[in-house]
Structure 1
Amino acid sequence: MMRNFDAIIVGAGQAGPPLAGRLTAAGMSVALIERKLVGGTCVNTGCMPTKTLVASAYAAHLARRAADFGIATGDVTVDMPAVAARARKVVMDARSGNERWLEGMAGLTFLRGHARFTGPRTIAVDGEEMTAPRIFLNVGGRAIVPDMPGVGDVPHLDNTDMVALEQIPEHLVVVGGSYVGLEFAQMYRRFGAAVTVVERGERLIAHEDAEVSDAVRGILEDEGITVRTGANCIAFARHADGVAVSVDCQAGDPKVIGSHVLLAVGRRPNTDDLGLDLAGIATDAKGYVTVDDILQTNVPGVWALGDCNGRGAFTHTAYNDFEIVAANLLDHDDRTLSERLVGYALYTDPPLGRVGMTQAQAEKTGRPILVSKRPMTRVGRAIEKGETKGFMKIVADAETQRILGAAILGTGGDEAIHGILDMMNADQPVSALRWAVPIHPTVSELIPTLLLGLEPVARA
């Protein structure tokens, strides 16, 4: 027997549950289907556990530096099972809170199971079919296992495994020099592991400006992390001490022997087992569901939100997908993806807060630009905290006087970037932020001074 709903949501990540809340509040009957863990990547294996672990790693790092602040602590040890238990509690509290919310939501039928399309408007869950005029996909993504020689012959970890790890690796080899890999690299170095980062490209976080990549590399190397870039022939083989990772760089040992290997080379969408072909829903070459500017697929009445649509890879973009859909469907608004200005952060210590274009991206547009850069050694708050690594940088359009992008690599950078992000969202000129009066002592107080330093960049 076919069950009928006003809407079906597949996936209980960051977009699905709040959308269910809005739709049911509008009087709709809604089915929400989740095959595994409520909360998606962020709650279970991403933001919440990793940032909890980052906090523990920071505490260990700061304790080791206690003498710098005139404090005596004695030997610093890390109880990894206790660290993991703390992260696990944060996850369980958040997940159970979301589950209670969904289970008590009036108008919602919350189903556990694997959803698959059987047609453009029909979905089956464990043999039970249902239909609705509105279907929303919020199925998320998972870590990629790269097609590298020997990868299937050796034990390896991904981000899901890492957040559950209750031991400190003797030597952690991180394959991948971007956000996930670098956060785990620094975290486990601070827990006490030897760490090597292996990156195929010529530099870390290659889509950032070179000076950002170089500064992040320096921060990691200062803590004893070995960074091997230009590793163009990565391969794996079993070894008596764990795993041998072939690096084949021009300098250094051709192989790195690790007790543990983390694969952090990207993610893929969970779209390969949804029956999308039976619904006629189009995907791109990487499996991401193709959507338009209001998140609709090529099939009328079907939307895709969050990581599975390839239009954002963050918790905040997934939630904003929900906001766009809800505003358009329920509030008679006209919101689009193209209006979205995405900020993001790398949670190494110090963190990197980023928004808009890099200098390299701005230069490629051909427009005349202004650039200013100041070291964190100019920031009183950073000096007082004894955390002066990094810098601030801002890029602006010389003609329109609008900010094009900014990077704050330094203590509090993930928070301070929002002052710039908000000005960009409001489409305000440089002068509007220049004449703001920031609080002293904060990281943000250097931003007006940074703007005063904007100077033209000569075209190459």
Structure 2
Amino acid sequence: MPQTGSIKADVVIIGAGSAGMSAYKSARNFTDSVLVIEEAHYGTTCARVGCMPSKLLIAAAEAAHHANHAGRFGIRVSQVEVDGRAVMARVRAERDRFVGFVLEDVEGWPDAHKISGSARFTAPDRLMLDDGTAIEAGRVVIATGSRAVWPAAWNALGDRLIINDDVFDWDDLPASVAVFGNGVIGLELAQALGRLGVRVKLFGRSGRVGPLTDPGVTEAAHAAYAAEYRFSPCAEILAVERQGDQVVVSEKVDGRDIEERFDYLIAATGRRPNLDRLGLQHAGIALDENGTPVSWDRRTARIGESTIFLAGDAAPDAPLLHEASDAGRIAGENAARFPFVAPRHRRTPIGVVFSDPQIAMVGQSHAQLRQAKASFITGSVDFTGQGRARVAKRNVGRLNVYAHPVTGKFLGAEMVGPAAEHIAHLLAWAVEADRSVQQMLDSPFYHPVIEEGVRTALRAARDAMHERSPAHRPCLDCRPAA
């Protein structure tokens, strides 16, 4: 849309990522007076610099890893050579293909529904673009996403400091990288680059491993990753500085000062919602000390009693594409139908880290249950001896499932282990269906499959429940005749 002095729309959406695109499509079902403002690139973080390019890098890393370890099965493979330029060429080409599909979608929108610029509130129903264009909005959907953050002192590293976005524009693989941040991005990138022949060290600070909160599962995850590459979840960093074209990291290890040089430092130290430049104070929105709206309803996407809605990574919600798309759909519908605002169903939480072994989080986490002071029992399985996992030499990791000690209702799970991305879906569906542990055990389990490990954990949960409340032991033989 060409910029003019003043524009008016029923629904104005700021941001055209996953949440913004979903909000637009949803709002169009109820009104044609929609305007999308985008200051940078149309399309999603997932397609450009997130889920898809990272999985392309991981796929190449897995191919190299399997070839290098084929000898475990008695298969002899000649020396494996990683062509860094070819690896990155495929990553960029396929990434651009995914982005292209998104852009084709946006190109199909009417020009009158799109405008470029950076927006700020001047009133609850008014916005101003950086070129001076005034916009009168009936309702506003904020879907501005988030951005990477890192310690300000690291800016002295110049072009030796990069974030995950920059990795996927490499023409070739570097010789070495220091990855800071033991969250999802750090775990995935560190392992993938290490398997592709890059000298890697992953530095953490919190002691956690990705999103895991269960101490037993966290311990299993750290043991699995540390056996493959150097991973310090509680690194004691003394200094990070640039010397020439390298980054020098100084840390204390076992009481000794260690210094190591790397070609790059990848900052995977967290992300910040892109809310600070919107002028929300002019919209009458109460903010907390972090600049985030105090009152936000996850089921309506509405901020307090305002006419402003919030969705995607900019919201205090899980930074995942499917969550952003769901929230965007809800925000777009409620903004378009305002003043009718309806709470909508939000799906059972599910999260996956595509490391090896994979990590999965389903339903309520261990930390959430503890924080809520909920009564729950835990059933566990160690995959070391699990049959199918051992056959494939993927027998590493642990699954902990959580259930109510009296009703047996399945509450959630944390896992590190084989096929976690698939097991996570089965467990999420069980939470969504409000199933009990016994009902899950009554479901089919084939042999030999990795899912038999899930059955082991569920049986352990059932046994723990019986030991705790014998009076509530179900009669397993009292089922109706077929």
Q: Please indicate, yes or no, whether the TM-score normalized by the shorter chain is above 0.5.
A: yes
Counterpart for residue 476 of structure 2: none
CA contact (8 A) 2:23 2:328 kept: yes
Q: Is 1:318 aligned with 2:347? A: no
Equivalents in 2 of 1:271, 1:264: separation in Å?
A: 20
Alignment of 1:158-197 (within 5 A): 158-197=163-202
Structure of greater Rg: 2
Structure 2 SS opposite 1:97: helix
Output the CA distance in 2 between the equivalents of 1:421 and 1:33. 35
Structure 1 CA distance, aligned partners of 2:80 and 2:354?
23
SS of 2:28's partner is: helix
Query: Partner of 2:411 in structure 1?
Result: 404
- What are the ranges of 5 or more consecutive residues in structure 1 without an aligned counterpart? none
Q: 1:90 aligns with which of 74, 91, 94?
A: 94
Letter paired with 1:134: R
For the Cα contact (< 8 Å) 1:139–1:308, is it kept in 2? yes
TM-score (norm 2): 0.86
The Cα RMSD (Å) is 2.7
Q: 1:235 aligns with which of 239, 245, 261?
A: 239
Alignment of 1:393-432 (within 5 A): 393-432=400-439
Matched, 1:306 2:320: no
The alignment partner of 2:32 has SS state of: coil
Separation in 2 of the partners of 1:58 and 1:27? Answer: 47
CA distance in 2, matches of 1:296, 1:369: 33
Deviation of the 1:52 alpha carbon: 1.3
- What's the counterpart of residue 123 of structure 1? 127
2:149 to 137, 144, 150: 144
Residue type at the aligned position of 2:302: Q
How far does residue 14 in structure 1 lie from its aligned partner after superposition?
0.9
Aligned to 2:42: 38
Q: In structure 2, what is the Cα distance between the partners aligned to 1:139 and 1:325?
A: 13
Looking at structure 1, the residues matched to 375 and 303 of structure 2 have their Cα atoms a distance apart, in angstroms, of 38
Q: Deviations over 1:409-445 (max 9, x none)?
A: 1221012111111111222221221111034443324
**How far 1:156 moved relative to its partner?**
1.0
Quick check: 1:204–1:217 contact (8 Å CA) kept in 2? Answer: yes
Relative to structure 2, which stretch is displaced further, 64-73 or 255-264?
64-73
Letter in structure 2 aligned against 1:116: R
Contact 2:179 2:201 in 1 (8 A): yes
Shift of 1:450: 2.2
Equivalent of 2:358 in 326, 351, 355: 351
Query: Contact 1:103/1:110 (CA < 8 Å) preserved in 2?
Result: no
Question: What does residue 210 of structure 1 align with?
Answer: 215
* SS of residue paired to 1:9: strand
- Residues 73 and 447 from structure 1, CA distance in 2 versus in 1: closer, same or farther, beyond 3 angstroms? same
Q: 1:271·1:288 contact (CA, 8 Å) conserved in 2?
A: yes
Change (3 A) 1:350 1:230: closer
1:305 touches 1:322 (CA, 8 Å); kept in 2?
A: yes
- Which of 201, 205, 212 pairs up with 2:206? 201
Counterpart CA distance in 2 for 1:255 and 1:20 is 51
Q: Is 1:382 matched with 2:386? A: no
Inter-partner Cα distance in structure 1 for 2:379 and 2:318: 28
Q: Percent identity?
A: 29
Distance of 1:352 and 1:413 partners within structure 2: 6
Query: Residue 23 of structure 2 contacts residue 333 of structure 2 at CA under 8 Å; is this kept in 1?
Result: no
Structure 2 CA distance for partners of 1:421 and 1:379, relative to 1, 3 Å: same
Distance (whole Å) between structure 2 residues aligned to residue 40 and residue 124 of structure 1 = 24
Structure 1 CA distance for aligned equivalents of residues 216 and 176 of structure 2: 28
Q: Which has the higher contact order (CA 8 A, sep 6+)?
A: 2
Task: Name the aligned partner's letter for residue 248 of structure 1.
Answer: K
Distance in 2 separating the partners of 1:217 and 1:160: 26
**How far, CA to CA, are the matches of 1:333 and 1:296 in structure 2?**
8
Pick from 40, 64, 67 the counterpart of residue 68 of structure 2.
64
TM-score (ref. length: structure 1): 0.90
Alignment length (residue pairs): 456
Cα 1:287–1:60 change in 2 (3 A) is: farther
Do 2:161 and 2:267's aligned partners in 1 also have CA atoms closer than 8 Å?
yes
Q: Helix, strand or coil: the match of 2:66? A: helix
Contact persistence 2:23–2:330 (CA under 8 A): no
Distance 1:70 1:108 in 2: 63
Distance 1:234 1:139 in 2: 36
Q: What is the distance in 1 between the residues matched to 2:117 and 2:370?
A: 49
Counterpart secondary structure, 2:425: helix
Structure 1 residues 423 and 54: CA distance shift in structure 2, 3 A: same
Deviations 1:240-275 (A, max 9, x none): 571122323444543332221111111111122223
Q: Which deviates the most, 292-301 or 387-396?
A: 292-301
Q: Secondary structure at the match of 1:132?
A: strand
Q: Kindly tell me: are residues 343 and 110 of structure 1, through their superposed partners in 2, closer, same or farther at Cα, counting changes over 3 Å? A: same
Whether the 8 Å contact between 1:281 and 1:299 is mirrored in structure 2 is: no
Q: Comparing 382-391 with 50-59, which one deviates more in the overlay? A: 382-391
Contact 2:156–2:241 (8 Å) recurs in 1: no
Alignment match of 2:283 (pick from 279, 283, 286): 279
Cα 1:150–1:20 change in 2 (3 A) is closer
- Cα distance per residue 1:174-196 (max 9 Å; x no partner): 11122111111101100101111
Distance (Å, rounded) in 1 between the aligned partners of 2:244 and 2:106? 49
Would you say the 8 A contact 1:32–1:109 is kept in 2? yes
